[in-house]
Amino acid sequence: KAGVTQTPRYLIKTRGQQVTLSCSPISGHRSVSWYQQTPGQGLQFLFEYFSETQRNKGNFPGRFSGRQFSNSRSEMNVSTLELGDSALYLCASSRTAEGLTEAFFGQGTRLTVV
Amino acid sequence: AQSVTQPDIHITVSEGASLELRCNYSYGATPYLFWYVQSPGQGLQLLLKYFSGDTLVQGIKGFEAEFKRSQSSFNLRKPSVHWSDAAEYFCAVGASGSSNTGKLIFGQGTTLQVKP
């Protein structure tokens, strides 16, 4: 069974640009969550999607957005990039029941903003 | 507010020695608890989970964890550490309720170094 796939693995962008990251969940998983990992702040929840609807959102500015497609694949977008957005972005998928969050993570996308 | 504390930022043990990584959580109801491991440059791998029932849970790679409600703890243990266990370990709590779906709250992580 294929795991969670994130593309690309590495990205270098310039301040002010925007970026789109992609996540393909495990087959049969309908919930996709996104996390940002930095040395200073650790792992922080960005948002969660289920059946193309955002169900939950973390405390991040509106520059961070996402969406989910009918095949459960998800994308996240960061606009007007700042140096502080440099991080490892992790996607997790789960089969989900109400509030149950056993999540399986992808390898992550390493974003560097210069 | 829910929170997870891993008191030890860095731990060094000798290969073959036993290991215990500490995790304390703050959560009003019965939490869903997880331990994940992360190797450098990689994603997170689920080691084990606790949802309910037996408070001693077994995971992959010989790890186990014990849920102690009275101490709000979920410590991870392994009787004999292997050099390949060197990695960063994260404790996480999953909140219940429809408003918290998909959200895990992570501790700051504990880096494990294994001495030959």
Chain A contact for B109, CB < 8 A? yes
pLDDT, tens only, A94-111: 886 555 557 899 999 999
Output the pLDDT for position A63. Answer: 98
Whether residues B102 and A105 touch (CB distance < 8 A) is answered with no
Counting as low any pLDDT under 50, the low residues of chain A are none
Chain B nearest-CA distance from A70, in A, is 18
Confidence band, pLDDT 50/70/90 cuts, at residue B47: very high
- Cβ(A88)–Cβ(A37) under 8 Å? yes
**What does the block give as tokens for A7?**
């593309």
**pLDDT of the residue at B94:** 84
Question: How many A×B Cβ pairs under 8 Å?
Answer: 87
CB contact under 8 A, A50 and B103: no
Q: Least CA distance to B94: which residue of chain A?
A: A101
Q: What is the pLDDT of residue A97?
A: 55
Min Cα distance B72 → chain A (Å) is: 19
Backbone angles phi, psi at A74, to 5 degrees: -130, 150
A58 contacts in B (CB within 8 Å)? 103
Q: Is the peptide bond before A8 cis (omega within 30 degrees of 0)?
A: yes
Report the C-alpha gap between A97 and B87 in whole angstroms: 30
> Which tokens is A87 given?
């991080």
pLDDT at site B98: 58
